[in-house]
Amino acid sequence: MPQFTSRPPAKPTGYGLDLIRTPANGRITLALTCENIIGCPTHWYGGRTIPCEEVECPGCAATVSWRWHGYVSGLVAPTRRQVLMEFTAQASETIADYHDSQGTLRGSFLVAQRHRNRHNGRVIVALHAAELEKLNLPAPPDVTASLAIIWNVPQTAIAVDGKTDRGPRLTVNDPEKGNNRPAAIATGPPTAAGIQNT
């Protein structure tokens, strides 16, 4: 017999957030729902972004360079649809600096646009505080669980602060190379220092 309710379950199985990127023209505004940015090394492989898994990683096996990508969750203005948004390491620096100065991203407004409205133009990010009481934000989502759903990887394989149930997941020794292959962005090895699970 069906079990009817007026609200969905608190944690529906298979729930994932849409992943968006900065549009080529125009800008996007988010009211951030996460406490901090979280990211990891990724590869562009098979026509999509995949996480670098180091052990048995298809991107590493194909000698595809890695890039660090950061992710935040937020409500898209004006629809209030909750999404994940992806940023390059360069754009993520601005977000991380804002977190360091304010102590949290939650309740801040983020505006992102591409330099000169070019398709692959550099992403320019601006953040400013908002009145948290007026935003009525939902609870922060589990960003790593949402990424696991998007990437189709088991949640037990997701490392937060460099650790999984199996121990360390990613070790990069040379800051000029990602997993012993030339890095696409050679700004140093990816680290999880200061990253919190939202």
Q: Give DSSP secondary structure letters for the chain.
A: -----SS--SS-TT--PEEE---SSSEEEEEE-SSS-EEEEEEEETTEEEE--STT-HHHHTTPPEEEEEEEEEEETTTTEEEEEEEEHHHHHHHHHHHHHHS--TT-EEEEEEGGG-TTPPEEEEEE---HHHH-PPPPP-HHHHHHHHHT--GGG--BTTEETTEE------TTEETTEE-SS-SS----TT----
Q: Is the pTM of this model over 0.75?
A: no
Whole-number pLDDT of residue 175: 40
Query: In this model, does residue 161 exceed pLDDT 60?
Result: no
53-57, 67-71, 74-78, 81-85: least confident range: 53-57
